[in-house]
Copies of this chain bind each other. A is one copy, B any other.
Amino acid sequence: MNPWPSPNLLWVTGGAAEGATPLNAFDNALLAAGIGDLNLVRVSSIVPRGARLADAPLQIEAGSLVPTVYAVVHSDTAGDTICAAVGIGIGKDSHGMIFEHHASARDVAKRVVTGMVEEGFARRGLPLERLLVHVADHRVERVGCAVAAVVLWWR
């Protein structure tokens, strides 16, 4: 018996912001990503078979409990670049995987999550049908945060 149905809809998003504290910067980055009013339940990190990518931001009621995979990075060093990335591997008639990484350069973040997804599929012997990467980056002014996220939802 499984009382929690598997999600079948993915929403890939990201955002970055400054804040008076690291937690406020995180909150503001989540708002920038459109997910700041949700109760995120962090999960690791499988795309259920047949899950579809949302083609527009989901409208989810504030305060909902929302399973989410995310990468987050903070910095309080002015001038730093911070990059949070998620890589989403969609399988061919199989489940897929999501990997997270953060780095100080977009291309690094992108390259690393791409490699992670490729290794995840290779290790499972599954063909990778489609690979998406989303990177949120930010140049820190005082206290900054970048978040890249995949919301797992139900259609």
Q: Which A residues contact B (CB, under 8 angstroms)? A: 1-7, 19-21, 23-24, 27-28, 30-31, 36-49, 51, 60-65, 67, 94-95, 97, 99-101, 112, 115-116, 119-120, 123-124, 152-155
Contacts and interface: CB of A to CB of B under 8 A. Distances in A.
B67 A67 contact: no
Counted per complex, copies of this chain come to 3
A114 to B, nearest CB: 11
A23 B42 CA distance: 15
The 3 closest A-B pairs by CB, nearest first: A48-B63, A62-B95, A1-B154
B154 A2 contact: yes
17 contacts: A2-B60, A3-B5, A4-B64, A6-B64, A7-B63, A21-B119, A23-B99, A23-B101, A23-B116, A24-B116, A24-B120, A37-B46, A37-B124, A39-B43, A39-B152, A48-B64, A65-B152
